């Protein structure tokens, strides 16, 4: 297995401001809502992503539990909230994800942004695209015909109007001509961000991020060129790199991490919901097809996401007793859903075990999960993950509860229902599980 070399650490000085355990408990028992707080870090809003957590959450744990130069890791980094906050605080950031869009966002936000903060000539770029659109429409049409395989082509035809396709191909071809990889990554992120929005961006989809997207014929899609121009301007205006340290981004499965053991000082992460409640690929496909991915390949990739609903060819692991009981309980109501849940907990067992392996002794893993209700049964995800975490060798410190801000986080479809049952109320909660790897090192 490829192992990524992370910098060697110097031993830390003894801590003066209370013990590590006290600070960790204080955070977990404190107010984790962060409502009404705005992050000064503008990079977070560059691109929509389902179930991002508020930047203040990783920020609080990173600020309290690490020191400058420490290594902060998110094995399922999504839109890189943890990494951006780590870097802004002068910590080294490491992130992995299985999702190609997440990797591209990470590259653009963390690596490219530094390099491109000066010297972007957005107007010239847009002018070149406009010229190609007016002078070479046939060339663009031909490029469009050659770009996709048959299945991807029908996906694109179904979701994007013909004139939208022409503007998108003109934009992406111009982006692909950019030689500087950092600049190209930044423009690619801007391109993707005009497609993936809550409303479906320049596509004919509605509710792209919230539910199963549906095609609407009465929607007049915005012009990609105009949207791109606006976004570019906004991103450039706010471009002020706040990071002061290194970051490493890797496309990897959290079930088998390419990192050495005892190499990480803090993990702050949020795994997918159980039972495929948010289908990342469903929304990301809309952008990834333009970035060179075929629909079949993306379906293949989707199988590797934690919490997927396929139940064949899966290695089901033995579960600790409470978790096993929950699986049985659900299986009695719906055998297939029971298997899907068993798959989820098996994959989370491997992921938590990997987190435990890569953490340094005495260090914390903060795992944020939402409630999951399947077939009307609250599957008690926080109790099960706590039990699994303990089974793979973590010490459980405390589980904090945070009330979700309905308007902020893109959540599964059920969320929008107006219903005041107990379960429905709990759907607005999220759990912040605090684990610690046993052992002490460097005065922790």
Ligand X SMILES: C[S@@+](CC[C@H](N)C(=O)[O-])C[C@H]1O[C@@H](n2cnc3c(N)ncnc32)[C@H](O)[C@@H]1O
Q: Given the rule CB under 6 A, which of 78-86, 232-240, 258-266, 432-440 is the region that contacts ligand X?
A: 78-86
CB-closest chain residue to ligand X: 78
Part of the chain binding ligand X (CB under 6 A), chosen from 116-124, 230-238, 299-307, 419-427: 299-307
Lay out the sheet containing 395-403: strands in order across. Answer: 247-251, 92-97, 71-74, 264-269, 359-370, 429-436, 395-403
**147: number of Cβ within 10 Å:** 17
CA 144 to chain centre: 30
Burial 110-137 (b: 16+ CB within 10 A, else e): bbbbeebeeebebeebbeebeebbeeee
Least Å distance, CB 359 to ligand X, is 17
Q: Is residue 110 within the footprint of ligand X (CB under 6 A)?
A: no
Nearer to ligand X by Cβ, of 168 and 352: the residue is 352
Q: Judged by CB under 6 A, does residue 79 bind ligand X?
A: yes
Helices (H), 272-380: 280-288, 295-302, 321-333, 335-358
Instruction: Select the span of 164-172, 250-258, 291-299, 403-411 touching ligand X (CB under 6 A).
Output: 250-258
Q: Alpha-carbon dihedral of residues 22, 28, 31, 33, nearest 10 degrees?
A: 150
- The 10 Å Cβ neighbour count of residue 313 is 6
Residue (70 or 430) nearer to ligand X, CB: 430
Q: Of these, 60, 91, 94, 97, which contacts ligand X (CB under 6 A)?
A: 97
**Could you say whether residue 404 binds ligand X (CB under 6 A)?**
no
| Nearest residue (CB) to ligand X, 137 versus 260 | 260
Contact at 8 Å (CB) between 258 and 252?
yes
Those residues whose C-beta lies under 8 Å from the C-beta of residue 331, and which sit 6 or more positions away, are: 337, 338, 339
Q: Is 279 in the site for ligand X (CB under 6 A)?
A: no
Contact region with ligand X (CB under 6 A), list: 90-98, 148-156, 287-295, 409-417: 90-98
Of 32-40, 91-99, 122-130, 163-171, the segment contacting ligand X by CB under 6 A is 91-99
Q: In the complex with ligand X, which residue's Cβ is closer, 57 or 169?
A: 57
265 touches ligand X (CB under 6 A) = no
Q: Interface with ligand X includes 304 (CB under 6 A)?
A: yes
Stretch that binds ligand X, among 128-136, 302-310, 373-381, 418-426 (CB under 6 A): 302-310
The Cα–Cα gap between 146 and 144 comes to 5
Contact status: 255 vs ligand X (CB under 6 A): yes
Part in contact with ligand X (CB under 6 A); list of ranges 98-106, 214-222, 321-329, 421-429: 98-106
Token pair, residue 112, equals 């490219």
Instruction: Work out which of 66, 102, 190, 287 binds ligand X, going by CB under 6 A.
Output: 102
The token duo for 206 is: 């509605």
Comparison of 164 and 253: residue with beta carbon closer to ligand X: 253
| Distance of alpha carbon 85 from alpha carbon 109, whole angstroms | 12
Q: Up-side HSE of residue 127: CA atoms within 13 Å toward CB?
A: 4
Instruction: Say if residues 434 and 266 touch (Cβ distance below 8 Å).
Output: no
Q: Are 282 and 153 in contact (CB under 8 A)?
A: no
Q: Under the criterion CB under 6 A, does residue 253 sit at the interface with ligand X?
A: yes
Binder of ligand X out of 272, 338, 400, 412 (CB under 6 A)? 272
Residue 200 binds ligand X, judged by CB under 6 A: no
Q: Is 412 in the site for ligand X (CB under 6 A)?
A: no
Shortest Cβ distance from residue 165 to ligand X (Å)? 27
Q: How many CA atoms lie within 13 A of 155 on its CB side?
A: 22
Residue 24: its H or E element:
helix 20-29
| Stated length of the chain | 444
Size, binding site for ligand X by CB under 6 A: 23
The one among 70, 99, 279, 430 contacting ligand X by CB under 6 A: 99
- CA distance linking residue 312 with residue 354, whole number of Å: 24
Q: Closest CB to ligand X among 255 and 337?
A: 255
Q: Give the Cα-Cα-Cα angle 228, 231, 235 (nearest 5 degrees).
A: 135
> Which range of residues in 71-79, 118-126, 165-173, 357-365 is near ligand X by CB under 6 A?
71-79
Which residues have a Cβ under 8 Å from the Cβ of 161 and sit 6 or more positions away? 204, 221
Q: Is the dihedral of CA 345, 346, 347, 351 positive or negative?
A: positive
Residue 70 sits in the site that holds ligand X (CB under 6 A): no
Binding mask 43-62 for ligand X (x = CB under 6 A): ------x-xxx---------
Query: Cβ of residue 87: shortest distance to ligand X, in angstroms?
Result: 14
Binding site for ligand X (CB under 6 A): 49, 51-53, 76, 78-79, 81, 96-99, 102, 253-255, 270-272, 280, 304-306
């Amino acid at each position: 297995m490829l192992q990524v070399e992370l910098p060697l650490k110097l031993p830390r000085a003894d801590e003066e401001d209370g013990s590590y355990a006290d600070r960790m408990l204080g955070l977990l028992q404190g107010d984790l809502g962060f409502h009404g707080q705005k992050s000064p870090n503008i990079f977070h809003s560059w691109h929509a992503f389902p179930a991002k957590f508020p930047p203040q959450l990783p920020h609080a744990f990173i600020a309290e539990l690490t020191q400058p130069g420490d290594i902060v890791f998110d094995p399922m980094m999504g839109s890189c909230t943890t990494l951006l906050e780590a870097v802004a605080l002068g910590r080294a950031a490491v992130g992995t994800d299985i999702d190609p869009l997440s990797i591209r966002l990470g590259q653009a936000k963390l690596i490219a942004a530094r390099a491109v903060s000066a010297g972007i000539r957005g107007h010239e770029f847009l002018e070149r695209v406009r010229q190609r659109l007016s002078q070479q429409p046939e060339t663009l049409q031909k490029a469009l015909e050659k770009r996709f395989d048959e299945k991807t082509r029908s996906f694109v035809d179904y979701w994007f109007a013909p004139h939208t396709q022409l503007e998108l191909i003109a934009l992406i071809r111009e982006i692909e001509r950019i030689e500087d990889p950092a600049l190209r990554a930044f423009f690619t992120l801007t391109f993707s961000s005009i497609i993936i929005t809550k409303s479906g961006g320049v596509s004919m989809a509605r509710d792209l991020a919230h539910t199963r997207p549906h095609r609407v014929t009465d929607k007049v899609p915005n012009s990609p060129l105009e949207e791109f121009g606006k976004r570019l301007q906004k991103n450039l205006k706010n471009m002020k790199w706040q990071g002061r340290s290194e970051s490493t981004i890797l496309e990897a499965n959290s079930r088998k991490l390419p990192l050495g053991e005892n190499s990480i000082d803090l993990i702050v992460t949020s795994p997918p919901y159980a039972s495929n409640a948010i289908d990342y690929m469903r929304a990301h496909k809309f952008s990834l097809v333009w970035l060179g991915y075929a629909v079949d390949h993306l379906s293949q990739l989707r199988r590797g996401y934690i919490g997927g609903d396929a139940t064949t060819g899966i290695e089901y692991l033995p579960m600790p007793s409470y978790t096993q009981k929950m699986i049985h309980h659900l299986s009695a109501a719906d055998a297939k859903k029971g298997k899907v849940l068993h798959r989820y907990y098996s994959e989370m067992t491997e992921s938590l075990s990997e987190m435990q392996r890569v953490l340094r002794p005495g260090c914390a893993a903060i795992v944020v999960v939402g409630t999951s209700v399947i077939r009307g049964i609250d599957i008690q995800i926080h109790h099960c993950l706590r039990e699994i975490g303990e089974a793979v060798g973590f010490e459980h410190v405390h589980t904090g509860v945070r009330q979700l801000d309905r308007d902020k986080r893109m959540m599964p479809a059920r969320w929008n229902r107006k219903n005041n049952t107990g379960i429905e109320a709990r759907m607005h909660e999220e759990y912040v599980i605090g684990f610690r790897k046993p052992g002490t090192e460097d005065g922790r």
